[in-house]
Amino acid sequence: MRRRVAAGCLELAAAWETGVGGGKDPSKARALRQRACELGDPAGCFQLADAWLRGLGGPKSAAQARTAFGKGCEAGGAAGCLKLGQMCRDGEGGAKDAAAARRAFRRACDLGEAQACKENR
């Protein structure tokens, strides 16, 4: 049930972002992505983090993006783990943390993200 609700939130978020079926409202799109992430949807967390990085529907915040990528990684999202690892390695959105970067890259690699396997050498 949670998965279907999260998927519905992401579909509606895309509609609000693009204006399909009505007007555009990026802030509503961000709120729906937040809900999908809260429901444990890795794609929702990734999209939310991207919105934080790009300032879609609200202010930019690398720290908030890093947190959202972390939630997506915890939920099993390989792409979120990869981005989390890069942000930890580079000190984006928080302090540099080589150990956290290695853990995130290892998890992303274990989840099938080939780029993370290269990053974790």
Separation of alpha carbons 36 and 58, rounded Å: 17
Fold topology of 2-119: 1.25.40
Q: Which stretch of 14-18, 46-50, 73-77, 107-111 has the lowest confidence by average pLDDT?
A: 14-18
pLDDT tens digits for 65-88? 999 999 999 999 999 999 999 999
Computed on alpha carbons and rounded to an integer, the radius of gyration of the chain in Å comes to 15
- If you ran DSSP here, which 8-state letter would residue 92 be given? T
Angle of helix 62-74 relative to helix 26-38, nearest 10 degrees, comes to 40
pLDDT tens digits for 2-45? 778 899 899 999 999 998 878 899 999 999 999 999 999 999 99
User: Would you state the pLDDT for residue 21?
Assistant: 79
Map out the domains of the chain as residue ranges: 2-119
Q: Residues 6 or more apart from 61 whose CB is under 8 A from it?
A: 52, 93
| Sequence-separated contacts (24+) of 33-40 with Cβ below 8 Å | 33/9, 35/6, 35/9, 36/6, 36/7, 36/9, 36/10, 37/68, 37/71, 37/72, 39/2, 39/3, 39/5, 39/6, 39/9, 40/2, 40/6, 40/75
Q: Which one is predicted more confidently, 89 or 23?
A: 89
Tokens coding 42: 């890795």
Put residue 95 in one of left, alpha, beta given phi > 0 → left and psi -120 to 50 → alpha: beta
